[in-house]
Structures are given as C-alpha cells and as structure tokens.
Homo-oligomer: A and B are copies of this chain.
Amino acid sequence: MTARDETVGPATPATGDRPAVRVALLGCGVVGTEVVRLLTTQAADLAARVGAPLELVGVAVRDVEAERDPVVDRALLTADAEGLVAKADVVVEVVGGIEPARSLLLRAIEHGAAVVTANKALLAEDGPTLYQAADAAGVDLYFEAAVAGAIPLVRPVRESLTGDRVHRVLGIVNGTTNYVLDRMATEGLDLAGAVAEAQALGYAEADPTADVEGFDAAAKAAILASLAFHTRVSLDDVDRQGITSVTADDVAWAGRTGHVIKLLAIAERRAGADGAEGVQVRVHPALVPAEHPLAGVRGAFNAVFVEAEAAGELMFYGRGAGGAPTASAVLGDVVSAARHRVHGGRGPAESWYAALPVLPADAARTRYQVRLEVADRPGVLAQVSAELAEHGVSIEAVRQTPSAEAEDGVAHLVITTHEAPEAALAATVAAIDGLDAVRSVVSVLRVEGA
C-alpha cells in the first residue's frame, strides 16, 4: 500500500488480506496486562482502524512461570526479550527503568521496528539517543503514556500546538503524591501515614522515592518542556523538590489561608539574566488557591494547563496512572505506528531546533508564602516588613495570630509576597531568620495559580 489509502468504511473492507502488523510487548505488569486486554478485546476495532490486524507475537517477561491474568496467553510469554524484538513491526515497552529497556528499544529500532514506550525515566534521561536512533532507522518513536497516563497531552503539545508558541506548562502530573497530599488535607494524616496508606492501596511503590522525591514528576516535566519549547531538557535540568518536607502543619496552615498544597511541575519560557530567552523547569510543592481548578484535582487524577500565545489557556484533565488508562494511551500510539506500517508515512521526529538554554532555578519568579514563629510583642511585623522592603520583595498579605492564641509568647506570622525573584526571596528569608524577634522560619512555600 502507498500513503494514498482508501477511506476506511463499510464500502471498502478495512483490513482486506493485508498481513498482520506484528506487535511485541516488553513487560507484563499492571499496564502490560491491560495492553494485552485491549489488543484482545478490541481486536476487530483495532484491525478496522489500522487497516490490518494487530497480532501480538510475544510478551517478554522476567518470570515466565509467574501467575498472570488469564487474558495473557501463556504461550506468548518468553524470557528472550532480545529475540522477541527482532521479529516485531511495533515494539511496546512497559518495563520501565533505564536498562534493559534502553538496549531493547535500541535493538528494536535497529531491526526496523517502530517503538512505543511509557518510560518517562528513560526519555528524560536519554531521550535524544532514542530519538536519533529512531530517526536514523526511519521508524516511529511514540510515548503518549509516558506523561499524564490516559490524558492526551504529548500528541496535543507535539502536534496540535505546533503552529503556536507555548509559553508555559503547569500541572499535577504525579498521582501518588497528589493522593498523599489529598489525604493529608482531608484526613489530617501526616506524610508517613498518608504514604503508608497509599502503599497499602497499591498507589505507591514499596520504595516511594521516585514519587515523593519528585523524580517521576521531574521526568514528565522534562519531557513536556522538550516538546513544548522545541529544545532538549533532561531530568538533570529540572529544579526538583519533592514532598518529603511537607508537614501536616503546612497542610493545615495552607487550608487556613485558603490554599491547598499540590506538587506542581512547571516549565516556562522566560528571559535569562543576559536577556536571552531560555527555559526554566521545576517541580516543587506549592500553595494553590482553593478556588483554582488545580485545587480540585483529587486522588490519582492529573491536570495540566498549557498557555500558548494564540490558543490562550488550555487545560487537560484525566487519570494520570493505572493499568487501563495507561494502556489506552499506549494503544493509541500502537494504532498510529501500525497505520504508518500499513499506509506509509511517519510520526513527528524530535524537534529541538530552538536549542534554548536551561535557566538556573533562581531565574524563577513566583509568589511565596513565608510562615514564621515570632516573639509576641509589638513591632515585630514592622521589622520583618522592613527586611522584605530592603530586598525589594513586595508584600501582598500578612496574617498574624492574635496574642490570645500565642503560646509561650510565640505568635505565628504568615506573609504572602507578590511575585519576586527566587534569589531575592532567599536572601530575604536569610535576613529575616537573623532577626532577634524571629524564633524560626517554619516554612517557605511557593504560591502558584493566582
């Protein structure tokens, strides 16, 4: 077949006698099992949409003897992943991690297979290697499932917005930490308790580091920034702060000041110190106003705002993880790659022509909420305000606990600033911390989504 294919509809039987597109699956955990389920239960629909049947030719797993969902045909299981990728047209990788995933994908590409991966860590660490290999071989590299689960976000940013100029991407891209922060806010749990609950429910891994330290969100932020700004951003370029320092007290105070705490991934285009354009990418917990749409994103859901020059503000919302939602994203990519096998053509290649510099963390400008424990006596606010003014940080609001609520002569002072450079804020906080009347700087949190 050439690229000039007929309309897919009843008048022209869709699949004709075209040979099947051979699909190999690497990994058969929660996501892999659901990929098999969709390939099986939707087989007729998928064949009609592709224009040829999709044939699952093998499933590579570490342990072929392990118990599995009955939807997985045991005859397809193999421990020989290397051998499997050599006989597929489309290779789906849902193993995760850097190796052996990278080697297997490179081997698949070398053999001329299109690859579909959900592997955000690999893409954020070494995406260009994969892109270049796919490019050299002239095959597709798709990865919708690597960011925000079921939510179509990679394709819209990579293709729909490619005629526009994206300024900013901001959102909740890690469901585990979102669930944890949610439970802290609604149930008053502390971090350890909420993480334990998430682990018991299977929402968090036994080792929750990748989620709670923000590595997972940072990998997604790097991928989104690369696509949105046509540049290369890797995991190391992301200013990353997880939720491990968020206390039950922080969460309670957030509520008292009309906010909720969310772990946000933010990528923005802005001018660097030399005036030249660059990108700044960060992941950190932030206070979000209770009335902001992101504040209402609960549990394992993800939501991402994209701001572009002509399009204005867009929001994408849906399930950010889980077997079936992730499998939906994987299958969309499998159909695209398989269609190219049947009808010709190729998906978009890496686009990094802009080659923008990555700006340092202190290039960020945002609002802050600083919470202090201060001596309960007159004049303290004046001293603190003077330090802020000194450093050019403007105050938006101050909230001071009444003396009646002071314990042991200690009062709480919560200061919200207008937008200020991170560097100025850091200097201000250091100066405030040195004041006699200030017992401690309890927390410094960014405020986003005003």
Contact = CB atoms under 8 A, between A and B. Distances in A.
Interface of A: 2-10, 14, 34, 38, 42, 45-46, 48-49, 131-132, 135, 137-138, 144, 150-152, 155-156, 159-165, 230, 232, 293, 296, 308-319, 324-325, 327-336, 339-340, 343-346, 348-355
A267 to B, nearest CB: 17
A232 B156 CA distance: 24
A8 B8 CA distance: 32
List the 3 closest A-B pairs by CB distance, nearest first.
Answer: A345-B345, A163-B331, A4-B138
B317 A315 contact: yes
B311 A4 contact: no
A431 to B, nearest CB: 41
A49 B162 contact: yes
A123 to B, nearest CB: 15
B163 A159 contact: no
A310 B336 contact: no
A344 B49 CA distance: 20
Nearest to A44: B353
Contact of A332 (B159, B316, B334): B159
B312 A135 contact: no
A352 B10 contact: yes
A278 B40 CA distance: 22
B46 A163 contact: yes
Contact of A8 (B150, B164, B334, B353): B353
Contact of A3 (B49, B296, B334, B346): B346
A164 B331 contact: yes
Number of copies: 2
Secondary structure class of chain A's binding surface, majority of residues: mixed
Nearest to A348: B339
Given A230-B48, A316-B315, A332 B8 contact: no
A152 B163 contact: no
A315 B314 contact: no
Given A150-B310, A164-B328, 10 more contacts: A8-B351, A9-B350, A38-B163, A38-B310, A49-B162, A49-B351, A293-B293, A293-B317, A310-B324, A345-B346
B316 A165 contact: no
A353 B318 contact: no
B161 A152 contact: yes
A162 B6 CA distance: 18
A144 B350 CA distance: 22
B346 A346 contact: no
Contact of A163 (B14, B311, B328): B328
Given A159-B332, A160-B152, A163-B330, A313 B318 contact: yes
B336 A162 contact: yes
Nearest to A162: B335
A7 B352 contact: yes
Nearest to A340: B345
Contacts of A354: 45, 48
A328 B308 contact: yes
B343 A344 contact: no
A310 B335 contact: no
A329 B164 CA distance: 8
26 contacts: A3-B345, A5-B135, A7-B352, A10-B353, A14-B353, A38-B163, A42-B164, A49-B163, A49-B230, A144-B160, A150-B314, A155-B159, A156-B156, A159-B332, A162-B335, A163-B333, A163-B334, A164-B328, A164-B332, A309-B328, A311-B324, A311-B329, A313-B318, A314-B317, A315-B316, A315-B317
